[in-house]
Amino acid sequence: MDPQDTQLVGDERPVQQVRAESAALVPAPVLPVPAAHEPRPARRRWPLLLLLLIVGAAGGGGYVWWQRLHPPLPPGISFSNGRIEADEIDIATKYAGRVAELPADIGDLVEAGQIVARMDSKELQQSLSKATAQAEQAQHVVDQARANLAQLQSQKTLAEQEMERTRSLLQNGWTTRELADQRQQALDAAAAGLAGAQARISEAERGLEAVRHDVALYTVQIADNSLIAPKAGRIQYRLANVGEVLGAGGKVFTMLDIGYVYMDVFLPTEEVGKIKVGSDARIVLDAYPDRPIPAKVSFVATQAQFTPKTVETRSERDKLMFRIRVRVDPDRLAAHADAVRSGLPGVAYVRWNPDIAWPARLQAAP
């Protein structure tokens, strides 16, 4: 034994004994014991099952609610999606010129015949003034020719009377043949002068007519420089500004014809064969699902064609379809001109069986 181990400490115990007692007081490390796998309690699956039940119930309720709002259509009514459209009309210049005034602008609702733009027509105004003055001068020439004609007519009448008296005197031997010849010569000269006066009047009248045509031409050209709306509609685009110089045919505005509003849709062959021009129809816009718009079929294509890209599914795009045009009633458009829009998506319903009544949701409001 080491002598140091026999050395006494404060409590007179050997150091080796103290070390042994201290080691006994330190706890031994506890090694983890692998626990046995316990199954997940079944109660943890109930929230997931409950959630699935709630989702299923909501889906079923939503389907029932949708079926009530959109019941299936009865046989005899076809439908397809499309966009409401209106014919576009370009308002353009007839002659080259400078834009002087634009009384209308984008979004304005204009009436048929309303002036929407004016072109600079100062040169035409000057030409019109000149032609008007020439027409007045030509009228004076015609008046003078007519006055001359009246004078020559009087002279001829006098020559005829003198010739008649001379013939009577010559038959009784109271005058000479020489005087009769002089009277006949005077009568022939008066007749020739009268014919010449009549020719001059015709010439003057033709000159007056030509100048009047110039006046009318300049008047029409000036009127054509005032651009008007050919139909009632709404200004959609403004393509020129005041001061711009445009060539002949230069576009100033593009307007929508609110009197011709339609929707083009595509239907399969088996349905198109039953649809006729004039068949009753309804248009339901996505923006106004509760306001069906009365319409009529105005066109049925005679040749099949592929459907446009607006059709949603590929299987539908692969089918050959016929284009159908459904036009809105013009009288209803006139009463709701301020509500006419172009490009709004919707659905067109066509009733090809007139014995079938429209469903309640497609009944048109009066």
SS (H, E, C) the chain: CCHHHHCECCCCCEHHHHHHHHHHHCCCCCCCCCCCCCCCCHHHHHHHHHHHHHHHHHHHHHHHHHHHHCCCCCCCEEEEEEEEEEEEEEEECCCCEEEEECCCCCCCEECCCCEEEEECCHHHHHHHHHHHHHHHHHHHHHHHHHHHHHHHHHHHHHHHHHHHHHHHHHHHCCCCHHHHHHHHHHHHHHHHHHHHHHHHHHHHHHHHHHHHHHHHHHHHHHHHCEEECCCCEEEEEECCCCCCEECCCCEEEEEEEEEEEEEEEEEEHHHHCCCCCCCEEEEEECCEEEEEEEEEEEEECCCCEECCCCCCCHHHHCCEEEEEEEEECHHHHHHCHHHCCCCCEEEEEEECCCCCCCCHHHCCCC
Please state which architecture CATH assigns to domain 89-120+226-251: Beta Barrel (2.40)
Can you give the pLDDT at residue 270?
82
pLDDT given for residue 252 in this prediction:
96
pLDDT of 365 reads 65
Fold of the 67-85+259-362 domain: Elongation Factor Tu (Ef-tu); domain 3 (2.40.30)
Q: What is the pLDDT of residue 45?
A: 65
Residue 340 CB coordination number (10 Å): 20
Q: What residue segments make up the domains of the chain, in order of their start?
A: 67-85+259-362, 89-120+226-251, 122-223
Distance CA 260, CA 256 (A): 9
Q: How far apart are CA 295 and CA 284, in angstroms?
A: 10
Dihedral angle sign, alpha carbons of residues 225, 231, 232, 236: negative
* Alpha-carbon dihedral angle through residues 117, 118, 119, 123, given to the nearest 10 degrees: 170
Per-residue pLDDT, 82: 93
Chain centre to alpha carbon of residue 271 = 30
Return averaged pLDDT per consecutive 10 residues of the chain, 366 residues in all: 43 49 49 50 63 70 52 82 92 95 93 95 94 93 88 86 84 80 85 86 91 94 95 92 95 92 90 90 90 92 72 59 90 76 90 88 74
Residue 210: closest CA among 121, 142, 126 = 142
* Among 282, 302, 277, CA closest to 292: 282
